[in-house]
Structure 1
Amino acid sequence: MMKSIKLPIRRVLNLSLWLMICFLSGTGALLYWRMPHGPEGRSLSVFGLSKHDLIELHAIFGLIFVGLIIAHLWLAWPWLKNAAAKKKLWPIFSGIIAGLALAGGIALAPLQTNANGANESSEQSDCEADAVAGHNNRNGNRSGLGPMRWQETHE
């Protein structure tokens, strides 16, 4: 890529990365510290966006951020190769492999449930969401848990 084109692209990319990390930090802090966990958080909104909308935006922008990081590393490859690794490629590749292993290990970690088979707060949230949405299971019950289970979780 020509040097005259590369500099403006890198400037826009760096500004985009900065704005993206600020957005992700803001939405992450908002979701973690200000929006209640569980069903009580469903009725809240910020800037006209529900908690669910904010979670989706946070995830989408997180994926865009990963793409921007990859573009940033690609444009900085000559500097990484010459200055950061002193013309040895193994430190760069070992860092990339370690980062990918960390991300993959987290993304592919086995999912677990608690001792009774489900997380009670998410179970209640799903039941309430189904009841509000009017979803019925095959027995005609409002929730997927059945009438007895619904009462047990909401008493």
Structure 2
Amino acid sequence: MNAKARLGWMVDLALALCFLFLALTGFLSWMIPHGRANPGALQSFRHFLQDVHAVTAVVFFCGILLHLWLHWSYIRKNLKDMGWWS
């Protein structure tokens, strides 16, 4: 396996893990009660989850951009074949 293919696999694995982490932190944050019904440590944990969720979303977005960049020649070729790229 060449270096570009290995990098592609690593990026894909990182994106899959980020997606699972986003789903988990989003679901847990959604399940914890909001506002005054949730005082103390549980509310702090919910805010922590939201911060982790936001940072993971930025990492996920950067990974998507890297993934598109790695596959750009394939994307451009297919767009040309379909007549959507001049």
Measured at CA, do residues 42 and 75 of structure 1 come closer, stay the same or move farther in structure 2, by a change above 3 Å? farther
Aligned length: 83
TM-score, normalising length: structure 2: 0.84
* 1:74 and 2:69 are equivalent in the alignment: yes
Aligned mates of 2:24, 2:84 — CA distance in 1? 38
Q: Deviations over 1:79-120 (max 9, x none)?
A: 11112x126437xxxxxxxxxxxxxxxxxxxxxxxxxxxxxx
Aligned mates of 2:65, 2:34 — CA distance in 1? 33
2:2 aligned counterpart, secondary structure: helix
Aligned mates of 1:41, 1:8 — CA distance in 2? 45
Q: Which has the higher contact order (CA 8 A, sep 6+)?
A: 2
Structure with the higher fraction of residues in helix conformation: 2
Structure 1 spans left out of the alignment, 5+ residues: 91-155
TM-score, normalising length: structure 1: 0.49
Q: Which structure would you say has the larger Rg?
A: 1
Percent identical: 29
Aligned mates of 1:42, 1:13 — CA distance in 2? 39
Q: CA RMSD in A?
A: 2.1
Measured at CA, do residues 42 and 55 of structure 1 come closer, stay the same or move farther in structure 2, by a change above 3 Å? farther
Query: Given the alignment, which residue of 35, 40, 52 partners 1:38?
Result: 35
Partner of 2:13: 15
Q: Deviations over 1:14-57 (max 9, x none)?
A: 0000000000011111111x111113334317xxx711111100
